[in-house]
Amino acid sequence: MSFIQALIIAIIEGITEFLPISSTAHMKLANPLLHIPETAFSNLFEVVIQLAAILSVVVIYWKKFIDFKNLTFYVKLVIAMIPALIIGALLKKHIDTALSNLTFISCVMIGGGIVLLFIDKLFTKNNLEEEKNISYPKAFVIGLFQSLSIIFPGLSRSAATIIGGMSQKLTRKLAAEFSFFLAVPTMFAASVKSFWDVYKENPEVIAKDNMATLALGGIISFVVALLAIKFFINYVSKYGFRLFGWYRIILGISFLIYLYSLPK
């Protein structure tokens, strides 16, 4: 992986990790376009930049994450994580197969986009504006929605949890913020496991020659994710999700056309 390829992939991860447009889909679709083969290092690189993007949430909402007097906040995150952990363990083979199917991912992108076109009209009376008003049952339901993003790669963890939050009467802003909060333990656990799996099979991938590329990717992903989160919260609070719906549909259709134009 060249520095230019690493830079582009890190920017894509930073932008898409917390927006409802699926970072998984963008990474899977970008790799072949950038001629990046799937190797132990490319897999490790994706894990590192994902961890860096997750760190941006902790930095922005650091007061929330170190408020140890508010234990209910941590309990809600644990409750919301449970469905994803169970689904991930039970359906690992399905998930691995789906992740390698670019046509499936493109179709899920389109389907998720259609949902986002109408989500603002579906939930017009949402009035829960603060995290303290999210009950444990509501947190669990949001977690169930999050697990859909595992079953359907390309749906977007962010989109699934935001839709789940809005179905539980959370405002657009709070649904987006709780999606960010939930990403930290969920994606951290997934990233650490992925890191260990790659390292266990290919310990030589942690080599001196690779450290500069990993560091570059991590820094870029972290900075871009900071900017993306701030933009997203401000934009969605004012304008809703329709733009992201159209983006998903256009990208999904474009990639289907690209896939079917390839020589058989």
195-217 per-position pLDDT tens digit: 777 777 777 777 666 788 888 89
Of 200 and 136, which is predicted with more confidence? 136
Boundaries of domain holding 104: 3-261
How many CB atoms sit inside 10 A of residue 139's CB?
A: 25
Tokens 């989160």, residue located: 229
For the chain, how far is it from start to end, CA to CA, in angstroms? Answer: 27
Distance CA 159, CA 182 (A): 12
Please state, in angstroms and rounded to a whole number, the distance separating the CA atoms of residues 130 and 154.
Answer: 29
What pLDDT, on a 0 to 100 scale, did the predictor assign at position 208?
67
The mean pLDDT value of the chain amounts to 87
Structural domains of the chain, count:
1
Distance of CA 142 to the CA centre of its chain: 15
Q: What tens digit of pLDDT does each residue of 222-264 get?
A: 999 999 998 999 998 889 899 999 999 999 999 899 888 877 6
Contact 8, 34 (CB under 8 A): yes
Mean per-residue pLDDT, 94-120: 87
Q: What angle do CA 248, 245, 117 make, to 5 degrees?
A: 150
18 in Cβ contact with 225 (< 8 Å): yes
Q: Are 190 and 181 in contact (CB under 8 A)?
A: no
Q: Write phi, then psi, for 61 (nearest 5 degrees).
A: -110, 40
Q: What is the pLDDT of residues 76-100, one digit of tens each?
A: 999 999 998 888 878 777 777 777 7
Q: What is the pLDDT of residues 159-199, one digit of tens each?
A: 999 999 999 999 989 999 999 899 888 888 877 777 777 77
Predicted TM-score of the model (pTM):
0.87
What is residue 207's predicted lDDT score, i.e. its pLDDT?
Answer: 67
